[in-house]
Amino acid sequence: MARVYLGILLSITLPVQALTFQTRMEDVQWSVAGDQFECRLSQTVTGYGEAVFVRRAGERPTFELKPWSNLMQPGPAQLYNEAPLWRPGTRSRLLGQAQVQDGPVALVAPEQQAGLMLAGLAEGLHPTIQRSSFAGSEPVRVVVSSVGYQAAWSDFQQCATGLLPINFDQASRSVVSFATGGSKLDDAARQLLDTVLIYIEADDQIKGIQLDGHSDNVGNRLDNRELSRQRVLAVQNYLIERGVDESKFSLRFHGDSFPVASNRSAEGRAQNRRVTLRLEKR
């Protein structure tokens, strides 16, 4: 039954009539660009736009489709790895769906699907995106060619070796945890702050660091607020000792006023004993 269903899906996915955009074999070109924050592996698709694999620091690659003029209707597009004409008998592989939207980036495929697309390229398959056109008469297919991929992938991997361990969003979601009644940084907390410090030193656009201290509800409110203050100061002092300008910091102490989990369990209380770190850019 599963095979019949897949066959039906593929018959829908691969119509005979479609407005297809694909670069001729002899014209396919890959380009690799990036820095310590992001690496990009891109191919121009003749007549349509740019197909780009993006790897941000601290993340796996995602895929973006950037049309010069988007011909696809907003809504779910089908993704599949298509077998080239010179490989008869090889079945196309359905990868799922991604949403087409208005704007300069018409489609973003998340890490899992982007990984499957990259794996398909390594096997000589062509990642393909298909969605109904605005005209409604025939679907639009955008085909990413695997020609020349291996050399481009090597360059992409080389770029990735220079990426930072985390990106801005990850650094700005940092949570430093503390033991019951304590304000000392343990090894895990210091390791986390060392990683955040690498990002702060690399990004000259960081203008501020917001630290918010919290506690569980064990003890009275006044003591808990003081404990949250001591925790914030422990984080601040650690970063200042390693070269962060003191003027960048903004400090707040909340005690047990803003729990993120129930204080009725040990696990919940552990989540509430924390300092959150947020970065601000110019």
Question: In this predicted model, what pLDDT tens digit does every residue of 20-48 receive, in sequence order?
Answer: 999 999 999 999 999 999 999 999 999 99
Helix (H) or strand (E) holding 206, with range, is: strand 206-213
Pick the residue with more confidence: 13 or 17? Answer: 17
Residue 11 has what pLDDT? Answer: 37
CA distances from 74 to 133, 208, 220 (A): 9, 38, 54
Report d(CA 215, CA 113) in Å as an integer.
40
Res 13 pLDDT > 50: no
Average pLDDT of span 53-59:
98
Q: What is the pLDDT of residue 87?
A: 80
pTM of the model: 0.87
**Mean pLDDT of the region 234-263:** 97
Evaluate if residue 4 carries a pLDDT over 50. no
Average pLDDT of the residues of the chain: 92
Spatial contact of 46 and 22, defined as CB atoms under 8 Å apart: yes
Conformational region of residue 204, where left means phi above 0, alpha means psi within -120 to 50, and beta covers everything else:
alpha
Helices of type H across the chain: 2-13, 111-122, 149-160, 168-171, 187-202, 221-241, 266-272
pLDDT at residue 6 greater than cutoff 50: no
CB atoms within 10 A of CB 172: 19
∠ CA 158-159-160, rounded to 5°:
90
DSSP 91: P
Chain centroid to CA 279: how far? 18
Q: Does the pLDDT of residue 175 top 60, yes or no?
A: yes
Residue 9 has pLDDT above 70, yes or no: no
Q: DSSP class of residue 92? A: P
Is the pLDDT confidence value at 74 over 90? yes
Amino acid type, 51? A
pLDDT grade, residue 231 (50/70/90)?
very high
**Phi/psi at 128 (5° precision):** -135, 140
pLDDT band (50, 70, 90) for residue 136: low
Mean pLDDT computed over 234-253: 97
C-alpha closest to that of 72 among 153, 11, 130: 130
- Asked if the model's pLDDT at residue 149 lies above 90, the reply is yes
- Tell me the C-alpha distance between 85 and 62, whole Å: 27
Give the residue carrying structure tokens 């200042």: 240
Beta bridge partners of 127: 81
**In contact, 193 and 176? CB cutoff 8 Å:** yes
Cβ-contact 128, 80 below 8 angstroms: yes
The pLDDT score that the predictor gives to residue 245 is 96
